């Protein structure tokens, strides 16, 4: 392969300059050379030399070409050619003259400027349409290919200087026709943008991409993700358990409908999100029409040319979405009430807006195993913190108003609102109130008579077993947990040990001073173990497997030495010995490589 003026001949292409480099491949700007001095610029993606002879990576590249090459949509980058030069396999794709969304967001962050709302909504709408084209893809025989991108993020969205929005990189996409099969328990994609089911390495369908698109839109609107941390363990925990706050909490000018559509896309359960990317794109289109009617490619091109100078663009780091240890950004304090009924009202597709059906059957390695006759794998997913409060208005049942915490889903206040009394209802209530007062007086009289006759009623003293909260208050978020090696997290509020009630014998001496003096806490008889892994794993303590896989939070064990064995979904193991003191909380974290 000869080089001339920093250019290199590559088959029938001429490599001009590198555009980027990933874990398995590199991308070059190239020219397609033909007769009559024909020239056309393309992007060449070729495997790195160390993977050129690896059959698995070659098949992954062919899978990407097969999927992307079958999609014919203006919001998906087009694949032109698939081939091999010497030992190097490559894909030739259309060259998009522009910048990726991650660079745009990083540039605005350095300039301390927000992305305009219209720009964010237009980009998300285009990505949703491109995703829907992939999700509804069929093969030559008309069979659904069940494509799932699995890596929707700002790094994989290109913005051309002509105002086009292109979804790229189907390198980790999943489809029914893939030559490669992802091992059970292996996570593919960027963890920061993954849906809960994808982060748990469970089967995924198109709704996992809807969640990732919601995360991308959130990042465009707010400049940060709703779930963050200083390491992957903290992010993993927040994705599984934390409830996203409305974007307007960080950026007040975000409209109510945009808040609702983002929160619906980010629901933990796939059945509660938008069921197709097309459905989400249509709701975004409605929100954009109310904000800036007619916004499209010309307006985006004008914004890129005017507000994004060439010299301000640079490649953001891969860990751009991790929170630094000294991040001063405060946590949300309060948010408006966004119950399910309100979100449904604001994001409902009106009658007559027909949706294109999408095949949502989950695709992963297990489906292939089942077709081959292997026994299916059953695992219990960890619980998600879902809370739905629907106030009931009735003449006989009090109405309850509740405010929910957008970051945790916990009820923060519950105030009964009683209907105004009227008519016979007031009379019946007065009768029962008077009857209750009479009964209370009668019981008091009986107690006094019993005391005078010598049959004294002695109180019962309750001994409360000490809890770890007594020694140190629980942390509210994983980011407050002292880091260990590897970094550890506490994934949910602690569980209190049982309270033991012991009655004092009637013969025991009783005095006012001893009854009012505080009791000394008993010595703890238990310790608590929290286990977090990437990806999920079964936990064995002293040879006994626990009933659920990770994350395991505050599992009560006896103090002393224990052997903990972690077994991932694909059989990888990690063993560690721990020594717990009475009342201690210990977190074990491990990332399988």
Q: How far apart are CA 466 and CA 496, in angstroms?
A: 9
Q: Which of 100, 151, 169, 259 is catalytic?
A: 151
Strands 527-534 and 585-591: parallel
Helix/strand/coil (H, E, C) string of 235-263? HHHHHHHCCCCCHHHCCCCCCHHHHHHHH
Q: Is 570 an active-site residue?
A: no
Peptide bond into 559 cis (omega under 30): no
Q: In sequence order, what are the residues at sequence separation of 6 or more whose Cβ sits closer than 8 angstroms to the Cβ of residue 431? A: none
**Helix, strand, or coil here: 14?**
strand
- Write the CB contacts of 361 (distance below 8 Å, at least 6 apart in sequence): 144, 146, 205, 367
Spatial neighbors of 195 by CB under 8 A, at least 6 apart, are 204, 207, 208, 211, 212, 239, 270
Give 468-507 as a 3 state SS string: HHHHCCCCCCHHHCCCCCCCCCCCCCCCCCCCEECCCCCC
Q: Are 204 and 150 in contact (CB under 8 A)?
A: yes
Contact 580, 560 (CB under 8 A): yes
3-state secondary structure of 93: strand
Strand order of the sheet with strand 560-568? 544-549, 537-541, 560-568, 573-580
> Nearest to residue 224, comparing CAs of 122, 149, 114?
114
Q: How many CA atoms lie within 13 A of 339 on its CB side?
A: 9
> 10 vs 22, 28, 31, 32, CA distance in Å?
20, 11, 10, 10
Beta strands in 304-441 (DSSP E): 399-404, 411-417
| Measured distance CA(318)–CA(21) in Å, rounded | 12
Name residues whose C-beta falls within 8 Å of residue 403's C-beta, 6 or more positions apart in sequence. Answer: 334, 337, 411, 412, 413
- How far apart CA 38 and CA 566 sit, in angstroms, is 59
- What are the residue numbers of the active site? 151
């Amino acid at each position: 392969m000869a080089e001339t003026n920093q250019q290199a001949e590559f088959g029938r292409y001429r490599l001009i300059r590198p555009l980027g480099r990933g874990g398995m491949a590199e991308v070059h700007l190239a020219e397609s050379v033909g007769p009559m001095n024909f020239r056309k610029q393309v992007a060449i993606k070729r495997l790195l030399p160390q993977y050129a002879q690896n059959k698995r990576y070659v098949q992954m590249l062919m899978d990407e070409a097969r999927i992307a090459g079958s999609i014919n949509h203006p919001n998906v980058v087009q694949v032109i050619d698939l081939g091999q030069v010497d030992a190097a396999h490559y894909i030739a794709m259309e060259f998009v003259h522009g910048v990726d969304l991650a660079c745009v967001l990083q540039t605005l962050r350095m300039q301390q400027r927000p992305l305009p709302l219209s720009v964010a909504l237009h980009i998300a709408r285009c990505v949703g349409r491109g995703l829907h084209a992939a999700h509804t893809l069929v093969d030559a025989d008309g069979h659904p290919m069940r494509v799932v991108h699995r890596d929707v993020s700002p790094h994989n969205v290109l913005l051309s200087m002509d105002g086009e929005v292109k979804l790229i990189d189907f390198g980790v996409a999943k489809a029914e026709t893939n030559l490669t099969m992802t091992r059970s328990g292996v996570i593919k994609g960027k963890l920061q943008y993954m849906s809960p089911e994808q982060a748990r390495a469970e089967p995924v369908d198109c709704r996992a991409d809807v969640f990732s698109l919601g995360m991308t839109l959130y990042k465009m609107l707010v400049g940060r993700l709703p779930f963050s941390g200083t390491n992957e363990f903290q992010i993993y925990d927040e994705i599984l358990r934390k409830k996203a706050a409305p974007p307007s909490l960080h950026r007040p000018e975000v409209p109510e409908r945009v808040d609702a559509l983002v929160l619906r896309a980010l629901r933990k359960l796939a059945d509660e999100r938008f069921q197709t990317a097309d459905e989400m794109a249509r709701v975004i289109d409605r929100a954009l029409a109310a904000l800036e009617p007619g916004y499209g490619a010309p307006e985006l091109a004008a914004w890129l040319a005017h507000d994004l100078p060439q010299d301000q663009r640079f490649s953001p780091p891969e860990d751009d979405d991790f929170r630094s240890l000294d991040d001063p950004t405060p946590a949300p304090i309060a948010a408006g009430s966004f119950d399910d009924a309100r979100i449904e009202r604001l994001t409902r597709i009106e009658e007559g807006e027909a949706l294109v059906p999408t095949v949502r059957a989950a695709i992963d390695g297990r489906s292939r195993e089942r077709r081959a006759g292997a026994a299916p794998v059953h695992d219990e997913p960890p619980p998600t913190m879902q809370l739905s409060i629907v106030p009931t208005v009735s003449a006989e049942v009090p109405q309850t108003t509740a405010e929910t915490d957008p970051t945790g889903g916990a009820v923060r206040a519950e105030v009964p609102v009683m209907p105004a009394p009227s008519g016979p209802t007031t009379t019946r209530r007065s009768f029962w109130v008077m009857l209750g007062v009479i009964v209370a007086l009668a019981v008091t009289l009986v107690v006094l008579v019993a005391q005078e006759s010598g049959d004294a009623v002695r109180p019962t003293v309750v001994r409360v077993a000490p809890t770890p909260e007594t020694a140190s208050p629980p942390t509210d978020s994983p980011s407050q947990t002292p880091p260990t090696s590897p970094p550890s997290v506490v994934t949910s509020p602690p569980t209190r040990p049982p309270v033991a009630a012991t009655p004092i014998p009637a013969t025991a001496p009783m005095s006012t001073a001893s009854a009012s003096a505080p009791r000394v806490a008993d010595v703890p008889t238990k310790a608590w173990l929290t286990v977090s892994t990437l990806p999920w794993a079964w936990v064995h303590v002293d040879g006994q497997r626990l009933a659920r896989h990770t994350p395991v939070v505050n599992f009560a064990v006896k103090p002393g030495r224990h052997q903990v064995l972690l077994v991932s979904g694909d059989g990888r193991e990690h063993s560690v010995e721990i020594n717990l003191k009475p009342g201690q909380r210990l977190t074990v974290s491990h990332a399988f490589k």
